[in-house]
Amino acid sequence: MTLIGMLHHRADPNKVKKAYAYAAVAKAEGVDFFYFTPRKVNIKKHKILGKVYENGQWIEKEFPFPDVIYNASYSSSEKAEQIIDYLYERIPFTSHSIGNKMSVYNRISRAKKFNQYLIPFHKLTDVQTFLNMIRQYRKVIIKPMSGHQGSGVVLIEKNGTNRYKMNDAEVITSFNEKQVLDWISQKIQDEDYLVQQFITSQTKSGHVFDFRLHVQKDGKGKWVITSIYPRIGRLGTITSNMGSGGYSTYLGIFLKQEFGDSWYDIQRYLEEFAIKFSNHFDSLYEDELDELGIDVGLDENQKLWLFEVNWRPGPPNIYSVELDVAKNTILYAKYLADRNKN
């Protein structure tokens, strides 16, 4: 029987909400499953002191090295990283990093096939890079290269010959060019930033929105759509992320409201893009990918733009598909284990 180990940095699986879902799905699918942390790995004996869910609680037991590891979180220390590297060299892992925003963009750009969906942006290394972008596009956003949940995103709009309007966390201010350039100079000393053409996807009522295309590999190693849902920002915000007060609804309801008779064509467009892009993006990496959160927008001409590709995307906040996510992960892990044995 296949043995799957779920690797996480938290010692208590009760504090990892999805751990129970994975344990339940594994039992339903007929595979053995346990939860563990790096510090419970005994490299010399090739044993792991893990936890298995039995009779309503997590019980600590000793396990051999698993057939496959679902690496569900980051490493919390240098020692943990060394143990993870040791396991990685010997056991298939389900998940692999895709890199930061800039490396992802460059990888897609070099491959060319999906260039028409890329939003022009550059690493913000100096003020001249900003000036070139704002003169060309008039509206740009500046965001941290390693940011998440829409944090730190600022919209800057050229407003006359020497004036700029800035939207920073919904605070609108007006600056002259020197003030903006001084602000940017200070920013890029503290953190790595990107400057990107501003593409707006807006509802009829003026709310920004995008679509999260959540895809996973299934038990046959094929990409499938777990969910597609719109994310709608609060009025006045420049991002639609849930972390900054955004909300969601069901895809069909949203599309019918915003696009009328074209709603089904757009839904099919999103579904086809999700699978085609995932297959292509997967092919750009040496290690196979298992799960992606692809964020896309539609402009006023219904042209699709690729906003971001996320590794280890957060769970969908609607549909109650936690078990769907867990099922795909467990079956894909079993697929990897079986393939490795063969």
Confidence of residue 131 (pLDDT cuts 50, 70, 90): very high
Structure tokens that stand for 91 in this block: 């056991």
Region 272-294: mean pLDDT is: 97
36 confidence band (pLDDT: 50, 70, 90): very high
- Tell me how far apart the alpha carbons of residues 70 and 4 are, in angstroms, rounded to a whole number: 7
* Mean pLDDT for the stretch of residues 330-340: 96
Q: Which one of 149-153, 187-191, 303-307 scores highest in mean pLDDT?
A: 303-307
What local confidence, expressed as pLDDT, does residue 148 receive? 61
What percentage of the chain reaches a pLDDT higher than 90?
76
pLDDT at 230: 94
Residue-wise pLDDT for 212-256, tens only, equals: 999 999 999 999 999 999 999 888 787 777 666 778 899 999 999
Amino acid at 53: Y
pTM for the structure as a whole:
0.90
Q: How confident is the model at residue 320 (pLDDT cuts 50, 70, 90)?
A: low
pLDDT of residue 322: 80
Domains and CATH numbers, the chain: 3-88 (no CATH), 101-117+202-311 (3.30.470.20), 121-197 (no CATH)
**pLDDT given at position 198:** 93
Q: What is the mean pLDDT of the chain?
A: 92
pLDDT at 318 over 90: no
Using CA atoms, how far apart are residues 111 and 236, in angstroms rounded to an integer?
A: 36
192-196, 236-240, 299-303, 331-335: segment of lowest average pLDDT:
236-240
In which region does residue 302 sit, left (phi positive, over 0), alpha (psi from -120 to 50) or beta (all else)?
left
**With bands split at pLDDT 50, 70 and 90, how would you rate the model's confidence at 341?**
confident
325: which residues sit within 8 A by CB, 6+ positions away?
Answer: 18, 21, 214, 216, 226, 315, 316
Residue 149: the pLDDT is: 56
- Closest by CA to 27, choosing from 334, 316, 341, is 334
- Using the predicted structure, report yes or no on whether residue 96 has a pLDDT greater than 60: yes
Quick check: 316 pLDDT over 90? Answer: no
pLDDT at residue 284 in the model: 98
One-letter amino acid for residue 306 of the chain: L
160: left (phi over 0), alpha (psi -120 to 50) or beta: left
- Residue 76 — pLDDT band, cuts 50, 70, 90? confident
pLDDT confidence tier of residue 150, bands split at 50, 70 and 90? low
